[in-house]
Amino acid sequence: MKNLPFEPFKIKAVEKIPVLTKERRIQAISDARYNPFRLKAREVTIDLLTDSGTGAMSDRQWSALLSGDESYAGSESFFRFEETVKKITGKKYLVPTHQGRSAEHLFFSALMKPGDLIPNNAHFDTTQANIESAGGRALNLPCAESRDLSSEDPFKGNIDPTALDKVLSDPANHVPVVLMTVTNNTGGGQPVSMANLRSVRALCDKYETPLYFDSARYAENCYFIKTREPGYADKSLIEIANEMFSLCNGALMSAKKDGFVNIGGWFATDDEKLFGRVRELMVVVEGFVTYGGLAGRDMDAMAVGLMEALDVSYMRQRVEQVGRLHAKLKKGGVPMINPSGGHAVYLDANAILPHMPVEHFRGWSLTNELYVRGGIRGVEIGSVMFMKQDPETGKITYPEKDLVRLAIPRRVYTDRHMDFVAETVIDLCGDATQIRGYKMTYAPKHLKHFIAEFEPVD
Ligand SMILES: *Cc1c(COP(=O)(O)O)cnc(C)c1O
């Protein structure tokens, strides 16, 4: 059986799911000041808030924990982990970090100067925050196809190479590095093609600029290259990964995604000098260079997880589970980002709630309604997250897209859970005119969505 018609694993431990009555959910979301981030996990039935650190580890990962070597320096766990990352990326130098954003912090602190410009297909929010807090400017250059939510283009995560050429050729810009995020999380979990990565490499060679990958979902990206890009169908995922990483000078990763661990990350590079600076910073903020904020056992679990993500039968199940949910929603007429991406489906709240004024937060309202109806927790990636207020005039501008992301944790939910999600979303879209909006009653200055408070509007 080449293409298994079922999950390539069986279940060894189970966890009971909390199921509340609708009345209790109405109470819970009101107690949470209508902010799903403030809900308690025990109040959530199906938690699609994020796929980060929420996956299920395999029996092999759990066994690897026991062989963790907790020596302060030079632990065996580190060498097993290092060997694995080298096998995948081919990079010479590596440090473990406790998660993705600490790798970003070390990297940008070692590399960047205030005023520098960092282009990317699209920066993730923590990447942008780390660049900006080091005094740099984060620039998104997504390809034109990504602007059209309905376009079925297979690689909507690509960067726009013409725009990148323009940025790199302008002598007014100081660009110490070009980043590529694979897959493109901010842009809807959409993949980047090998052809696009090659053209970025060529531009980086032309302008003598290093190229790094933000590779949280590198294995999903490899699977999309295998299934969507001509010439790769017969290659294994690790062959594709080797080819992909051969195009960059180094990479960072949040292993909470395709590393299958609940916590962990790394930074790898071929640049000995840069590595030296990262190591110096590392001992000040993360820990010694062979553990980087992790226990030895975490590195062992990560070493096993990174290889499991390159198992094509696993990856097929993962991407097809997301694809089946996407297809069911599409059949039910739900407006979304097309085509189906790697780790999540993204509902288009502007198209679902066109009757609602933008200032009543369409995506946010949809997220709360989804919780009240089905105990499902998604996350708004839209007006609340990205609204901007002019400090002088007080005028508020809202982003063009107002999305609700339903992120699927790895190996956690079955297709029956996803059927329930699809049915709940389709029903909800059927009587969307009943959904009420919200007003914000409290908002902190930065990253408001995490702790803001709301009230329903009448
Ligand atoms: C999650 C993520 C990060 C940040 O990683 P953390 O482990 O959450 O700190 C960076 N980039 C991308 C693309 C991500 O998805």
CA separation for the pair 336, 50 (Å, rounded):
18
* Statement to judge: residues 315 and 276 lie in one domain: no
Residue 426 Cα distances to 36, 321, 333, 357, 367, angstroms: 20, 18, 7, 22, 14
Check if 275 is active-site: no
Check if 314 is active-site: no
Peptide bond into 183 cis (omega under 30): yes
Q: What is the CATH number of the domain that holds 370?
A: 3.90.1150.10
In this prediction the pTM is 0.95
* Statement to judge: residues 301 and 319 lie in one domain: no
- Domain boundary (308, 327, 355) is at 308
* Statement to judge: residues 95 and 35 lie in one domain: no
Please list the ranges in the chain whose pLDDT falls under 70.
1-2
264 in Cβ contact with 256 (< 8 Å): yes
Phi, psi (deg, nearest 5) at residue 344: -165, 160
226 in Cβ contact with 237 (< 8 Å): yes
* Statement to judge: residues 145 and 277 lie in one domain: yes
In a domain, 361, yes or no: yes
Q: Is 425 helix (H, G, I), strand (E, B) or coil?
A: helix
In a domain, 218, yes or no: yes
The residues that bridge with 178 in the sheet, in sequence order, are 211
Check if 255 is active-site: no
Decide: residue 422, CB within 10 A, 0-12 exposed, 13-18 middle, 19+ buried: buried
The angle that helices 218-228 and 237-245 make with each other, rounded to 10 degrees, is 110
190 touches ligand 1 (CB under 6 Å): no
Closest CA to 384 of 408, 405, 355: 405
173 in Cβ contact with 141 (< 8 Å): no
254 touches ligand 1 (CB under 6 Å): yes
In SS3 terms, 275-339 reads as HHHHHHHHHHHCCCCCCCCCCHHHHHHHHHHHHHCCCHHHHHHHHHHHHHHHHHHHHCCCCECCC
**Spacing, Cα 94 to ligand 1 middle (Å):** 18
The whole domain housing 157 covers 59-308
The angle that helices 272-285 and 100-111 make with each other, rounded to 10 degrees, is 120
Amino acid 387: pLDDT:
86
* H or E segment to which residue 200 belongs: helix 194-206
Per-residue pLDDT tens over the stretch 156-187: 999 999 999 999 999 999 999 999 999 998 88
Check if 233 is active-site: no
* Statement to judge: residues 44 and 68 lie in one domain: no
Amino acid 298: pLDDT:
97
Locate 121 and state its tokens.
Answer: 């297909």
* Statement to judge: residues 201 and 88 lie in one domain: yes
Q: Is 132 helix (H, G, I), strand (E, B) or coil?
A: helix
In a domain, 251, yes or no: yes
In a domain, 114, yes or no: yes
Q: Specify the residue for token string 């094509």.
A: 312
Q: Is 354 helix (H, G, I), strand (E, B) or coil?
A: coil
The residues that bridge with 407 in the sheet, in sequence order, are 344
In a domain, 66, yes or no: yes
Residue 349 Cα distances to 13, 263, 439, angstroms: 36, 32, 16
* H or E segment to which residue 124 belongs: none
* Statement to judge: residues 264 and 345 lie in one domain: no
Rounded to a whole number of angstroms, the CA Rg of the chain reads 22
CA separation for the pair 456, 428 (Å, rounded):
18
In a domain, 34, yes or no: yes
**Site to substitute for ligand 1 among 51, 101, 343, most atoms within 8 A of C-beta:** 101
Q: Is 210 helix (H, G, I), strand (E, B) or coil?
A: coil
In a domain, 124, yes or no: yes
* Statement to judge: residues 286 and 340 lie in one domain: no
Residues 6 or more apart from 3 whose CB is under 8 A from it?
316
213 in Cβ contact with 179 (< 8 Å): yes
* Statement to judge: residues 303 and 202 lie in one domain: yes
Per-residue pLDDT tens over the stretch 44-53: 999 999 999 9
Residue 433 Cα distances to 34, 50, 351, 354, angstroms: 19, 28, 12, 9
- Domain boundary (293, 308, 323) is at 308
In SS3 terms, 75-107 reads as CHHHHHHHHHHHHHHCCCEEEEECCHHHHHHHH
* H or E segment to which residue 265 belongs: strand 265-269
Amino acid 1: pLDDT:
63
In a domain, 148, yes or no: yes
Q: Residue 231 is which amino acid?
A: G
* Statement to judge: residues 246 and 383 lie in one domain: no
Q: What is the CATH number of the domain that holds 304?
A: 3.40.640.10
Per-residue pLDDT tens over the stretch 70-87: 999 999 999 999 999 999
Amino acid 4: pLDDT:
83
* Statement to judge: residues 203 and 293 lie in one domain: yes
* Statement to judge: residues 37 and 84 lie in one domain: no
Quote the number of domains for the chain.
Answer: 2
121 touches ligand 1 (CB under 6 Å): no
Closest residue CA from atom 14 of ligand 1: 216
Locate 374 and state its tokens.
Answer: 């089905």
- Domain boundary (264, 288, 308) is at 308
Closest residue CA from atom 5 of ligand 1: 100
